[in-house]
Amino acid sequence: MDRKTRIEENEKLFREVNERVERLQNDLQAAEPRWVCECGDETCFEKLAVPLGEYHEDRAHDDWFLIKPDHAVPDVEQIVTERGSYLVVEKIRL
């Protein structure tokens, strides 16, 4: 598997984790939802504080991922927006 594909697969895996986290947080009605960073680093388990509305807004785009600011990989993704404590990145398609 090439580097770009591996990074994207890791990001998708973390997105699946966050979908499960969302279900749990909805059950608990958490005041400040915490999400797993969706970067391509398979060893990263850092947490992001993202309001549920912003999370849903960003997740409406299949190629967008929420990551810590220093976790961007410029040759495979571009920054869509900076939201304070996290970035929204989009996969670059060739």
Mean residue pLDDT of the chain comes to: 86
**Structure confidence at residue 39 (pLDDT):** 93
Beta carbons within 8 Å of 76's beta carbon, 6+ residues apart: 3, 4, 7, 8, 40, 91, 92
**How is the chain split into domains, by residue range?**
3-91
Identity of the residue numbered 82: E
pLDDT tens digits, one per residue of 49-63? 888 888 889 989 988
Per-residue pLDDT of the chain in tens (94 residues, 90 and over written 9): 788 888 888 888 888 888 877 777 665 565 677 889 999 898 999 999 888 888 889 989 988 999 999 999 999 999 999 998 999 999 887 6
